[in-house]
Chains A and B, each alone.
Chain A
C-alpha cells in the first residue's frame, strides 16, 4: 500500500492529477492555474504534463469561468473550475445559482452539468479583505448544487476525485489555512471502495458532547477534544464533510448518546449552517437533548482586518467555553 505523507494542498494536487489521467474529458480552468500552478500551487505542474487544453489559464472574470464551463459541460466535458479566493466568487454567483444549479432540473433530467467549483475558503492566513470569507451557506441554500468540504489530506485526495466523477454540480470548499497541514494519504485505495462523498464521519469518538464541524474547524475541534480530555471530558467530533445535502444520521445517533451538541463554523452565525443543523437536531433528537444546541461561529460583521481575525474566528477556547455552557445549562 502506497501510503505517503502529504500536505492537504499536495493531496488535492495528486487527486486532480489522477482525475486528469482517468478521464480525458476532465479540464481544469481558472485564473493562474496553468503556468503558475495556482496562487496556492494546487494545480502545480498539471499544465506542464497535460497541456494548455486540459489546464486552461482563463481571462480574469469569474462569471466567464463558470459560464464557459457550463458550455463545455453541455459539450460533454467535465470542467473543474478554480475560483482563486472565496471573496471573488460573487461575480460568478448568477451563473452558479441561475444556470449551473438549474440546468438539470430545467431539462427534466436530460442534461447534466458535471462541474466542480473549487473555492479556497475561510480565514486564518492574515490576508487582506475578500480573501478570508466563508460563503458556504449561499450555496448550500441553493437547490441543484451540492456542497462539500474536506478537512484532511486523505479526504482531500479522495473527495476531489469523487466530486469530479460525480454528475452533480459540486461546490468544493478547500480549507485554505489547512493547505500546509500534513497527513497520511493512501494513494492506491480504489475510489469505488472509498468512504462516500456525501457522508459525515466521526473524526474522534467520545461520549459527553458532540462537536460538529467541517473544513478548517475540524482540526480546531479535534484540538479542543484533546484539551478537554485532560479535564476528563470526552468529546465526540463529527466531520460533516457534506454541507448539501447534510448527512445527519450519524449526528442524530451521536447526539442521542451525548445529549449535547455544539456546531462550529467560521461563517457568521446568523442563518449559517449551524442554524439549520441545530433546527434539524432539535426536530429529531428533542427528547435526548440535555441542553440546547449551541453554536460557535464567526460574528455577524464583515470579515475583520487580519490583526483581529484570531478574535473573530472560533478557536479552541471558544469551543471549550461552549462545551462548558452546554454542561452548565
Chain B
C-alpha cells in the first residue's frame, strides 16, 4: 500500500518531462498532471515549497488501479440504491483523485476523520469497502471502532467531525507523538458547504491556538446539495487559513499526483510539530449530492461537460499510456478486477441480515440503564406475543 515518498531515491523511478513554476491556467492551483495527462515535474507553491512526486512505474499503476476500483465500487453502490438495496448513497463520482491522493498520502499511524462520502479514503486505508454500507442499507449506524481502523465513523452532521479531529490531534500532541519522522498526523475531511459551519471555524481556531498536528482537507466539489460555492464564500476557501494563522493551499483535486504531493507534505509538517494547514482540493461532484437529489434542477449540462474533460481517471490513463507505463493488458486486467470486486460487494450487501429488533436497545450506555432494561423486557414480551412472528 505504501507509495513512494516525494523526494525519495530515484533509482528505477521515472523522471517527469519538465519542470516549471506556474501551473496551467490558474496560478493558485497546484497541478502535476494536466487534464490531457501531461506530467509537470514539480510546482513551487506560494510559500516556496516544491511539490513533486517520485513514483516507480508500479506505484503509478497502483494509483490508477485505486482510482478505477474506487469508481467502480461507488457505481455499484449507486446501482444497489437504485434497486432498493441501499436506502441512500452519497456518490464520490468525480472526486476519486482527491480521495485516493490524500488517502494514499496517509501513513499507517495517521488518523482520518471522514464525512459520509470518503469511500475512496476508506478503501485506501485498506478497509473492506463493505464496512460503511451497513449505514446506507440501514442495518447499522456505523458500527466500527475508529481506533481499530485509524478511520473514524462517518459523520453526517456537517462539520462536526472537524472538531473531533482537532481534539484527537490535541491528544496526539499531548501524548508526545509529534516531532519525529514517525510522528502521528490527523486529517479532517469536509466539504465546501461545511466551511460555513460554526464547528469548522471553531476547529480552525482550536487547531491554530494549540498548534495541532492536523490537516484540514476540504474537497471543494462546488456544490452543497444545490447551493453553489458563491453561496458559501466570497474568497477562495484556502485563503481562509491565513486568517486563522496557518497555511492554506489549493490543489487540483482531480489530479491524484498533486493531491498526493500536497497532502503528504502537509501531513509530514503536522507530524513534525509544525501545526495545522488547510488544503482545498478543487474538484467537482459529477453526480448528485446523494441518490435522493436531482442536480439537473440547479446546474447546466455544459458545466458538467467542462468538468468531464478534467476527469481524474482519464488523465492518469493518458499519462500511463503515453509514457508506456501500462499497456492494454494492464487496463483490461484492472477493469476485470474492479468488476470482480463490485460483484463481490454486491453479493455481500445482499447477504447483510437485518438486525433483530431487540438489538435496538443494545449499547446505549457502556454501563447500561435500568430504564432500558425495563423497556427491553417489555418490548420482548410484546414482540414475542405475536404468534408465528418471523423473528
Contact = CB atoms under 8 A, between A and B. Distances in A.
A103 B155 CA distance: 10
A282 interface: no
A76 B198 contact: no
A94 B202 CA distance: 14
Interface in B359-385: 362-367, 369-372
A108 B362 contact: yes
Contacts of A99: 155, 157, 160, 164
Interface string B138-165: 0011111111100011010100101111
Contact of A75 (B141, B167, B372): B167
Contacts of A108: 140, 142-143, 362-363
A79 B171 CA distance: 11
Contact of A64 (B141, B171, B174, B202): B202
Nearest to B173: A53
A110 to B, nearest CB: 4
Interface string A92-134: 0011001100111111111110100000000000000000000
Given A61-B205, A74-B152, A107 B166 contact: no
Contacts of A95: 160, 163, 199
Given A63-B199, A94-B157, A108-B143, A68 B163 contact: yes
A53 B175 CA distance: 10
A110 B141 CA distance: 12
Interface in A70-102: 70-77, 79, 91, 94-95, 98-99, 102
Contacts, number: 142
A1 B189 CA distance: 54
A144 interface: yes
A67 B145 contact: no
B262 interface: no
Contacts of B199: 63-64, 67, 94-95
Among B169, B175, B367, residue most surrounded by chain A Cβ atoms (within 10 Å): B367
B365 A67 contact: no
B351 to A, nearest CB: 19
Interface residues of A, number: 46
B203 interface: yes
B313 interface: no
Interface string B198-224: 110011011001000000000000000
Contact of B171 (A71, A111, A143, A167): A71
Contact of B166 (A67, A79, A94, A110): A67
Among B152, B175, B202, residue most surrounded by chain A Cβ atoms (within 10 Å): B202
A104 B366 contact: yes
A241 interface: no
B170 interface: yes
A67 B190 CA distance: 15
B164 A67 contact: yes
Given A67-B163, A71-B168, A91 B198 contact: yes
A167 B171 CA distance: 18
Given A67-B166, A68-B163, A75-B168, A107 B366 contact: no
Nearest to B360: A105
Interface string A14-39: 00000000000001000000000000
A112 B366 contact: yes
B206 A107 contact: no
Interface string A260-304: 000000000000000000000000000000000000000000000
B195 to A, nearest CB: 15
A278 to B, nearest CB: 16
Contacts of A74: 146-147, 152, 164, 167-168
Contacts of B171: 71-72, 75-77
A168 interface: yes
Nearest to B169: A71
A70 B160 CA distance: 10
Interface in B216-260: none
B145 A71 contact: no
A55 interface: no
A59 B205 contact: yes
Nearest to B363: A109
Contact of A59 (B155, B209, B364): B209
Contacts of B364: 104-105, 143-144
A246 interface: yes
27 contacts: A59-B205, A63-B198, A63-B202, A64-B199, A67-B163, A68-B206, A70-B164, A71-B163, A71-B165, A72-B170, A74-B146, A76-B171, A79-B167, A95-B160, A98-B157, A99-B155, A104-B365, A104-B366, A107-B143, A110-B148, A111-B147, A114-B366, A143-B364, A146-B369, A168-B366, A168-B367, A246-B371
Of all A-B residue pairs in the complex, the 6 with the closest CB atoms, nearest first, are A71-B167, A67-B163, A75-B171, A68-B167, A64-B202, A109-B363
Given A67-B162, A107-B143, A110-B144, 8 more contacts: A64-B202, A67-B167, A75-B167, A94-B199, A95-B163, A99-B157, A107-B142, A108-B363
